[in-house]
A and B are shown apart, each in its own frame.
Chain A
């Protein structure tokens, strides 16, 4: 399976290995970019789309594990597949614990690498979809006024217009207007939809129980 806009990075200090992996991925129609070191890779602006990294664990200067830490620190979500010419068991365990997709000792089967890359890209595209949706919701949320935001929180908490009006010390008609604007700005038609979006954006609801006076 090939995903549109997906990109595979290959990082290995061995040029011959880079070329070989690049060919293998191209034979399956992946887009590939090759780097001889982790620093060169980090210097590149992040890809706008799902991507994964095939990286040698034993790299001079910045090794595979250090790259994994650096990516995690800067909040980048690239999926990592480690390859190695002979690293110790503790290193592999460390790599897998830190969320690597797979760990492949050289020489590896081409199916193994392609399988790992496919899996990584599926995960990456899921992440990519989620994060792009989250971004959209956040963008919409940003357009709400503070009053509308308060109304939103109370609506997803399951409160009726009357209750909200009482809570905010205003009339039911006013709340109705606010509610209509919120639904419109957030691009939803039902309260259920609004709840899902709010959850994606990580907004906590304010339930009736907790707001009883």
Chain B
């Protein structure tokens, strides 16, 4: 009985893959205890004292004997074990049923059900025999047969299924080989180099195409460092970081980088890969690499042309502004020359004291600096080389542009009103390009204001926070407004309402906005005139 129960418990755990282990252990443990008690108690665990034998005749004329006697109190151990055994099997079957898979449900019903049936019948029969109601113990054996049959049925089904699986596996292997061939063909047609990096061993396998792409010989081991060495020195860190991020959990790797071939030739490569993890650790990364030199060159060429156009339009803007700029320069120069002249005259007449001289010299220095700033501004606008993007406050850019256009505003009888948000988040941008956008908008506003009475010629520049992540600057005039039917047409290339306009200013301003991840929109304002909305993504670090 002990071995029977242990084997059933084992079968349930292995085959059903359900059942609470602690219940199983308890069942086996109690049964073992009962066995030990049985060995050490006389006469056995069931009876404390055997008082006699009962003789029974069963079918076929065989006679069996049953003991009669006083119950051993230790028999409860054996009974508890049987009860727990029943609980264990019921629990395991219910769990199996709950998984919901049709095969699992069938197994739960057939095997689990037959076990429960066997245990119940066995226990019930024993009790009935004890009580003397029933005579024959055969029912126990029959119910045991039922459970064995059920288990055998299940096992034979499994054998059949295993054979089927084996056939399917063969078929799918063939299909896999075929699809690998297809993949290979597709990859070579798309000029893709496939690779696989065994991370623990640091070994890279790649297709012949891959070796050719990276300039590796057809044999010879490749590892990660050897791969990095082929990269352009400026791109190594970025790639190393992208790979590290993928390996350390992100899983996906993607980067564009340059490689330098042994002949010194540079190529642009795009790489994509996916890391496979095993036991929480990166095991390997598979991926593809593609030569994107041609696309990259086209992109760079397009960017170069865009920069060139932006530069041309900046120079054109400067041309429009030249009067203003001359004024901005002549102002400090005039003050310097006049101050110096005054000082010389004071000295010649010997009416100069140290305090007065200091005052004059300080003013000369300040004005000289101011002239220098104007020149730097012009050089920045006219220069082709644009500095790196930097964190800037849009308010500062606007104040600078207003200063630059001040005398132009006077010449057009326009007043500029600025309503600048005091706590504006910064944006990351090319300062010169932002200046270009605002110059464009302001000069257009001057132009648009010429048709309306002087009292109306006002331009309102406002900055504000637009939601959480956006900085909004708007430029509003009270001029003639935009074409009512299609305000956005002003952004079209070669669309111009000016006599001598090229029609590229706003188009370029919009492309500058989008290159910075922002937008430039226009609409007719209520109460006349146009309003332009320039939005840029905010960098979160409030400028205090």
Interface residues, chain A, with chain B CB atoms under 8 Å away: 14, 16-17, 19-21, 23-24, 26-28, 58-60, 63, 83, 85-86, 88, 105-110, 113
Partner of B339, one of A20, A59, A106, A108: A20
Measured between C-beta atoms, what is the minimum distance from B361 to chain A in Å? 12
8 A Cβ contacts from B54-104 to A: none
Contact status B330-A85, CB under 8 Å: yes
Given A85-B330, A86-B330, verify A110-B407 contact (CB < 8 Å): no
With A23-B339, A107-B337, A108-B334 in contact, is A28–B345 under 8 Å at CB?
Answer: yes
Which residue of B is nearest A106, CB measured? B334
Chain B interface secondary structure, helix, strand, loop or mixed? helix
Quick check: is B349 within 8 A (CB to CB) of the other chain?
A: yes
Residues of A within 8 A of B324 (CB): 86
| Chain A residues whose CB sits within 8 angstroms of the CB of B334 once the complex forms | 17, 20, 83, 85, 106-108
Q: Which of A58, A109, A110 contacts B327 (CB 8 A)?
A: A58
How far is it, in angstroms, between the C-alpha of A197 and the C-alpha of B311 when the chains are bound?
72
- A–B complex contacts, Cβ < 8 Å, 6 sampled: A14-B331, A58-B327, A85-B326, A85-B327, A110-B337, A113-B338
Residues of chain A lying within 8 A (CB to CB) of residue B134: none
B331 touches A106 (CB 8 A): yes
Cβ proximity bits B340-359 to A, threshold 8 Å, 1 near / 0 not:
01110110010100001000
Are A16's CB and B332's CB within 8 A? yes
**A20 contacts B345, CB within 8 Å?**
no
CB-defined contacts of B335 to chain A, threshold 8 Å: 14, 16-17, 19-20, 107
In the complex, B254 has a CB within 8 A of chain A? no
Contacts of B150 in A (CB 8 A): none
A58-B407, A58-B410, A86-B407 given as contacts; is B342 within 8 A of A16 (CB)? no
Query: Least Cβ distance of A81 to chain B in Å?
Result: 13
**5 shortest A-B CB distances, which residue pairs?**
A106-B334, A110-B341, A85-B327, A27-B345, A23-B342
Whole-angstrom CA separation of A111 from B314 in the bound complex = 39
Question: What is the interface of chain B, defined by CB distance below 8 A to chain A?
Answer: 323-324, 326-328, 330-339, 341-343, 345-346, 349, 351, 356, 360, 363, 366-367, 407, 410-411, 415
In Å, the complex CA distance between A92 and B326 comes to 16
CB-CB nearest in chain B for A24: B342
Which residues on the B side are within 8 Å of A14 (C-beta)?
A: 331, 335
Closest-by-CB residue of A relative to B363 is A16
Q: Is the CB of A107 within 8 A of B333?
A: yes
Q: Decide if B411 touches A106 in the complex (CB within 8 Å).
A: no
User: How far apart are B407's CB and chain A's nearest CB, in angstroms?
Assistant: 6
Contact call A27/B338, Cβ cutoff below 8 A: no
Contacts of A24 in B (CB 8 A): 338-339, 341-342, 345
Q: How far is the CB of A110 from chain B (nearest CB, A)?
A: 3
If A19-B363, A86-B330 touch, whether A26 touches B337 (CB-CB below 8 Å) is: no
Alpha-carbon distance A191/B218, docked complex (angstroms): 128
Give bound CA distance, A60 to B337, whole Å: 24
With A23-B356, A108-B337 already in contact, 8 other A-B pairs whose C-beta atoms are closer than 8 Å: A16-B367, A19-B363, A27-B351, A83-B334, A85-B330, A86-B324, A106-B334, A107-B336
Give Cα A172–Cα B411 distance, bound, in whole angstroms.
70
* Chain B residues with CB under 8 A of A110: 337-338, 341-342, 345
Task: List the B residue with the shortest CB-CB distance to A88.
Answer: B323
Chain A CB within 10 A, most for which of B337, B342, B346, B407: B342
B52 to chain A: closest CB distance in Å? 132
Nearest residue, chain B, Cβ from A14: B331
Q: Contact at B360–A85, with CB atoms within 8 Å?
A: no
CA separation between A28 and B345, bound complex, in Å? 8
Q: How far is the CA of A109 from the CA of B327 in the complex (A)?
A: 17
The answer to whether B331 and A20 have CB atoms under 8 Å apart is no
Give Cα A14 to B349, complex, Å. 27
- Interchain nearest-CB distance for A212 vs B (Å): 60
Q: Which residues of A contact B349 (CB under 8 A)?
A: 27
Q: How far is the CA of A108 from the CA of B335 in the complex (A)?
A: 9
Asked whether A17 lies within 8 Å of B407 as measured between CB atoms, the reply is no
Residue numbers in B under 8 Å from A63 (CB-CB): 410
**Looking across the interface, which residue of chain B has its beta carbon closest to that of A21?**
B338
Nearest CB on B from A162, distance (A): 66
Docked complex Cα distance between A103 and B332 (Å): 18
Is the beta-carbon distance between B330 and A107 smaller than 8 angstroms?
Answer: yes
Complex CA distance for A6 and B121, rounded to whole angstroms: 136
State the CA gap A20–B335 with chains docked (Å). 6
Least CB distance from A43 to B in Å reads: 21
CB closest chain-A residue, reference B346: A27
Is there contact, CB below 8 Å, between A106 and B360? no
Chain A residue at minimal CB-CB distance from B367: A16
Give min CB distance, B378 to chain A, whole Å.
14
- A187 CA to B335 CA, complexed, in Å: 52
Which residues from A are CB-within-8-Å of B327? Answer: 58, 85-86
Central interface residue in A17, A23, A59, A110, by most chain B CB within 10 Å? A23
Which residue among B331, B332, B337, B339 has the maximum number of chain A CB atoms within 10 Å of its CB? Answer: B331
- Are A86 and B342 closer than 8 Å at their CB atoms? no
A20 and B332 CA atoms in complex are apart in Å by 10
Residues of the A chain whose Cβ atoms lie less than 8 Å from the Cβ of B332: 16
Find out whether the CB atom of A86 lies under 8 angstroms from the CB atom of B366.
no
Which residues of chain B have C-beta atoms less than 8 A from A86's C-beta? 323-324, 326-327, 330, 407
> Is A23 within 8 A of B330, CB to CB?
no
Instruction: Tell me whether A17 and B338 are in contact (CB under 8 A).
Output: yes
Complex formed: what's the CA distance from A19 to B343 in Å?
A: 12
Q: Please name all residues of chain A whose beta carbon is closer than 8 Å to the beta carbon of B366 when the two chains form the complex.
A: 16
Within 8 Å CB of A109, what residues of B? 337, 341
Beyond A17-B338, A20-B338, A20-B342, whether A105 also contacts B330 by CB under 8 A is: yes
> Would you give the shortest CB distance from B342 to chain A, in whole angstroms?
4
Q: Hey, which chain A residues are within 8 Å of B415, CB to CB?
A: 60
| A58 cross-chain contacts in B, Cβ below 8 A | 327, 407, 410-411
Q: How far is the CB of B139 from chain A (nearest CB, A)?
A: 116
Per the bound structure, the CA–CA distance linking A28 and B344 in Å amounts to 11
Residue of B nearest to A108 (CB): B334
Determine the chain B residues whose CB is within 8 A of the CB of A105 once the complex forms: 330
Q: Contact at B330–A27, with CB atoms within 8 Å?
A: no
How distant is the Cα of A85 from the Cα of B342 in the complex, in angstroms?
19
Please determine whether A107 and B410 come into contact, CB atoms closer than 8 angstroms. Answer: no
Q: Are A107 and B338 in contact (CB under 8 A)?
A: yes
Q: How far is the CB of B320 from chain A (nearest CB, A)?
A: 14
Contacts of B341 on A, CB cut-off 8 Å? 24, 109-110
Report yes or no: A106 in contact with B351, Cβ–Cβ below 8 A: no
Complex formed: what's the CA distance from A58 to B412 in Å?
11
Residues in chain A near residue B360, CB distance under 8 A? 23
Distance (Å) between the CB of A8 and the closest chain B CB?
13
Q: Which of B324, B335, B345 has the most CB of A within 10 A?
A: B335
**Distance between Cα atoms of A34 and B127 in the complex (Å):** 126
**Given contact pairs A23-B360, A27-B351, A108-B337, A17 touches B331 in the complex (Cβ within 8 A):** yes
The CA-CA distance from A20 to B334 in the complex, in Å, is 9
